[in-house]
Structure 1
Amino acid sequence: MESAATFFQEATVKGGGSPLTGRNGLGSPDYQFRNTKKKVPLDELLKQIQEMADLPLEESKTLPAETYTSEEFLDWEIENVLGGGWMCLAHQSQIPKPGDFINMDIMGEPMIVVHGKDGEFRVLSRVCPHRAMDIMPPGFGYDGHGPAEARDGKSDCGHTRIFLCPYHHWSFELDGKMKGGPEMHKAKNFCRQDVGLKTYRSEVWQGFIFVNISGDAEPLAEQYQELKKDVQGWQMEDMDVVIAKSWDCPFNWKVLVENFMEGYHHMGAHCKTLQPLMPARDTWTDGEHSHSVRVNLPYRDSVPTTGDSDFEAIPTLDPEHYRQMAVFLGQPTFLLFTAPDRVFWYRIEPISADRSRLLTTCMVPKKAKEDPKYDEKMEEAEKMLVDFHLEDMEVCTAVQRGFYAKGYQRGRLSHLEMPLWLIHRYYAARARGTYPTFDRPAAPSQAPS
């Protein structure tokens, strides 16, 4: 029987189709299940989360299984956690020229992230204001019926002068304003200045393009004050995305976020990849912040400062970052994994309670491309990115399966899983209509004395 890692690599990374099958979307035949568990009401789930969040770390537990399997709970998250927060959609290096765009669907909303003619980055709806047609369906509509051209052979990236709806050829400027509507001259009081693609509230932060679907979140500069202090040394606005891998994930979005943020699983899932470099026992979590989580992953003493596959270390980093990697979460879904010479950024998109879409990327300073061994180093970096993520795909898929089992039990958390506890405290705070540290004392740092 082929391994789960081989299955995911062939089906997802190499474009051989999605590993999502069955009613609940859980992968190959090895990952099928039946959900026969009794539903827990939403108000009871929120109560349990609150009770758990008020426990000290030493007594903390995992969340109820239904928070990873219930569509009702996902609806609550979309309203109170995801849609009300800032979600990172793209990095400006992915759409460097005016007219470049990326299509994506975020929680059922078809969107375009576009580089405008005026140099501004915007997030627009793809829903035509005429008859609700998706103006950029997969493949950009019908052959020969639109000005948009796919870029780099990707069906979600392209370049265009205008947006043209393939249904009735209504056209729109790159800022969403209507350009033309054929045969609308007999429609009484019709004025194209009153019509356009919906514009979502967006901001550019550290080179990343974010959207706030609800439109009422505090500015990113306010929410990510602490995170900016942590990551500004990488100067990510001057980096380029040089590797990007798309993954269909048969598990809840929180499974990926929690897995990403703790180093405890290095000793198990990554025993041959990350554990030799960054032992689990040495990882530690920074003190609690209202909108971000930071975890430090010190290198083993025997690991050299630089290796053959590394680029020149970024000179603007704080000295501590030359001897460690770190993972960061900008609540609710902005994930960064930093090294002295590069940054890995993950974009997670919830689809349903047990399905999500993921983009894993590697970013390097523009100067890194001048390295004579750039191609060789990128090949090695891509292999590493795929190798350790395949390990994560296996365990995350198996974890999702466990949530449906009658044998599921809420486990106790290790001190090395403090990031999960902080993330759960964030959900509890959102259920109270606030944020961590606003109405509770902040948890202290685990920094070694």
Structure 2
Amino acid sequence: MTAPEISPPLDAILQEIKATAALPLAQAKTLPREAYADEDYFTFERDNIFKKDWMCLAHVSQLKTPGSYIALDLFDEPLLVIRDRQGIVRVLSRVCAHRAIDIMPDDDAFPREGEARLLVCPYHKWVYELDGTLRGCTQMHNAEGFDKADWKLSEFRSEVWNGFVFVNFDGNAMPLAEQYADFDRDIAPWNVADMEIAIELEWECDFNWKVMVENWMESYHHIGTHAATLNVNMPGELTWSEPEHPYFLHAHLPYTDKLRGELRASQAGGPAVPGFKWIEGLSETQAFEWGLFTGFPCFMFLTTHDRALWYRLLPVAADRCLLLTTTLVSKEAKDAPDYQEALASETEMPNTFHSEDMVMNAAVQRGLRSSKVVRGRLSHLEEPVWLIQRYLAARADGRYPEKANRAPYHGPRAMQAAE
């Protein structure tokens, strides 16, 4: 009988991640399998990365009216993202202040999204206002010294940045306006706070959260995974990355000259190109590429000439995460006469390439479980994977990477710098 395989201790995993991240890009290789499969390391990430940094939960277009809410669970915390009567978006705990029940049990009678006038605990009918304050609690008049003002639903620290609702569990993260200041400048022309989610797709993923983020950020895989879909108009070999930033990643995936020509002709009154009404105020560089972003640790955002994409990623375990993929469009696009036609045609496209990614990501996780898995080398096109490694290594030491003061290693700006 073969003895069960034993993972190395957590300290050994952390040291190997740091050693791997210290390699220059030209010598870069993949992380040890334990970084994707070891539950002790996932627990370390939960406590030292996810709970200390910002996690994105919602977009304000999902919470349009007072009382509109989204209920979700993250790291054993039952959360309620809700807009109160004053229009303030909050992240409340769903744990009743009376007997600790989740006031929205896991049952079809309690929808995960909707609109509420009040928050009512089904156990003993304690009633809370939309901001979490206790409004009513029958049969508590004999409880000595009881004051309703003392018994609110707990609230987590949250911020709204560019229309996205983030939560910070430990309450000590840098304000998003400071942390993402450069990120904000990069995406300002899209005015994302005024965009609306038009398409949503949910996925239960049997793979590690980093498998998803790495796949999101590197477009090298377009050559294989999306050979007949995305790679036709956005060849993987054209992708390039911005220099290292402490708080986010930014990569570029340019369109082909053929697609650029078709889009220019369409804007000039020529044959229509499938899609939504263009985002106004974009430069040609901004319009004619996919702009790929990840705000650490896992806020995935993408810009195009006519829309934005946002992925809500909720890590569950070392080999499991939950994913919501969304498409956001401008209000002008939603008001356009051909919007419904565009929506119908464009809903199929993300489902197709997301499905391609899900197949590959699950296959990566299966490979990571194999006794024959090896530590592969990285292409220069996988620079974002190397940068993610450097973020993980820095967070293992309780810090963030340093902002790089250099030209990009590859791409048009690298060529210009070389000249």
TM-score by length of 1: 0.87
Offset from partner CA, 1:390-436 (integer Å, 9 cap, x none) = 00000000001111100011111100000011111001111111101
1:333-353 per-position Cα deviation (integer Å, ceiling 9, x unaligned)? 110121111001000001111
- For residues 143-200 of structure 1, the C-alpha deviation after alignment (integer angstroms, 9 at most, x for no partner) is xxxxxxx7xxxx3101111100001111111111111111111111111101111100
| Aligned residue type for 2:330 | P
The answer (yes or no) to whether the contact 2:240–2:411 under 8 Å persists in 1 is yes
State the distance in 2 between where 1:124 and 1:389 align.
31
Residue pair 1:37, 1:404 contacting (<8 A) in 2 also: no
User: Which of 97, 104, 109 is 1:136 aligned to?
Assistant: 104
Cα gap change, 1:211 to 1:140, in 2 (>3 Å): farther
| 1:50 matched residue in structure 2 | 18
Superposition deviation, residue 95 in structure 1: 1.0
Greater mean alpha carbon deviation, residues 182-191 or residues 88-97: 182-191
What residue is the counterpart of 1:124 in the other structure?
92
Matched residue, 1:159: 115
Report if aligned partners of 1:116, 1:174 keep a CA contact under 8 Å in 2.
yes
Q: Equivalents in 2 of 1:370, 1:194: separation in Å?
A: 47
Structure 2 match to 1:244: 200
Corresponding letter in the other structure for 1:61: K
Residue 434 of structure 1 is aligned with which of 392, 395, 399? 399
| AA at the equivalent of 1:182 | T
CA RMSD of aligned residues (A): 1.6
Q: In structure 2, do the counterparts of structure 1 residues 347 and 35 end up closer, same or farther at CA, with 3 Å as the change threshold?
A: farther
Q: CA deviation at 1:319?
A: 3.0
- Mapped partners of 1:309, 1:71: distance in 2: 44
Name the CA distance, whole Å, in 2 between partners of 1:443 and 1:328.
19
Taking a change above 3 Å as real, the CA distance of residues 35 and 204 of structure 1, as seen in their structure-2 partners, is farther
1:61 lines up with 2:29 in the alignment: yes
Q: Is the 8 A contact 2:278 2:333 kept in 1?
A: no
* Distance in 2 of aligned mates of 1:367 and 1:132: 45
d(CA) in 2 for partners of 1:320, 1:129: 53
Please give the alpha-carbon distance, in whole angstroms, between the structure 1 residues aligned to 2:181 and 2:240.
21
In the alignment, which residue of structure 2 is the partner of 1:27?
none
Matching residue of 2:246? 290
Give % identity.
Answer: 45
1:94 has 2:94 as partner:
no
1:291–1:435 Cα contact (<8 Å) kept: yes
Letter in 2 for 1:79: D
TM-score normalized with structure 2 length: 0.93
Following superposition, the deviation at residue 285 of structure 1 comes to 0.4
Whole-angstrom CA distance in 2 between matches of 1:217 and 1:189: 36
Aligned to 2:269: none
Q: Deviations over 1:90-123 (max 9, x none)?
A: 0000110001000001121110000110010000
Q: Aligned-pair distance for 1:252?
A: 0.9
Q: Tell whether 2:42 aligns with 1:74.
A: yes
Q: Rate the CA distance shift 1:394–1:443 in 2: closer, same or farther, 3 A.
A: farther
| SS of equivalent residue, structure 1 residue 289 | coil
Amino acid at match of 2:313: I
Distance 2:241 2:18 in 1: 22
Q: In structure 2, what residue type is equivalent to 1:232?
A: A
**Is 1:328 the equivalent of 2:284?**
no
The one-letter amino acid paired with 1:243 is: I
Q: Which amino acid aligns with 1:400?
A: Q
- CA displacement at 1:442 relative to structure 2: 5.3
> Secondary structure of 1:136's partner?
coil
CA separation in 2, counterparts of 1:68 and 1:444? 31
Task: Please give the secondary structure, in 1, of the residue aligned with 2:372.
Answer: coil
Identify unmatched segments of 5+ residues in structure 2: 267-271
One-letter identity of the residue aligned with 1:234: W
Distance 1:217 1:372, change over 3 A: same
Determine which of 92, 110, 113 is the counterpart of 2:78. 110
Structure-2 separation of matches of 1:186 and 1:443: 69
Distance 2:281 2:133 in 1: 41
Kindly indicate whether the alpha-carbon contact (under 8 Å) linking 2:239 and 2:411 is maintained by their aligned counterparts in 1.
Answer: no
CA contact (8 A) 1:289 1:442 kept: no
- The structure with the greater share of residues assigned to helix is 2
Residue 310 in 1 paired to residue 266 in 2? no
| Structure 1 match to 2:181 | 225
Among candidates 234, 240, 264, match of residue 220 of structure 2: 264
In structure 2, C-alpha distance between the alignment counterparts of 1:95 and 1:72, rounded to whole Å: 36
Partner AA of 1:49 in structure 2:
I
Structure 1 position 308, deviation (Å): 2.5
CA distance in 2: counterparts of 1:292 and 1:74, whole angstroms: 21
Question: Using the alignment, how far apart are the partners of 1:375 and 1:137 within structure 2?
Answer: 36
Alignment deviations for residues 21-41 of structure 1 (CA, whole Å, 9 cap, x no partner): xxxxxxxxxxxxx99532111
3-state DSSP of counterpart to 1:302: helix
Tell me which amino acid in the other structure corresponds to 1:382. T
Q: 1:35 to 1:72 in 2, by over 3 A?
A: farther
* Structure 1 segment 16-31 matched on structure 2, within 5 A: none
> CA-to-partner distance for each residue in 1:261-308, whole Å, 9 max, x for gaps?
100000000001110011011110011111010110001111122553
Distance 2:406 2:397 in 1: 18
Aligned partners of 1:120 and 1:405: how far apart in 2? 48
| SS of corresponding position for 2:324 | strand
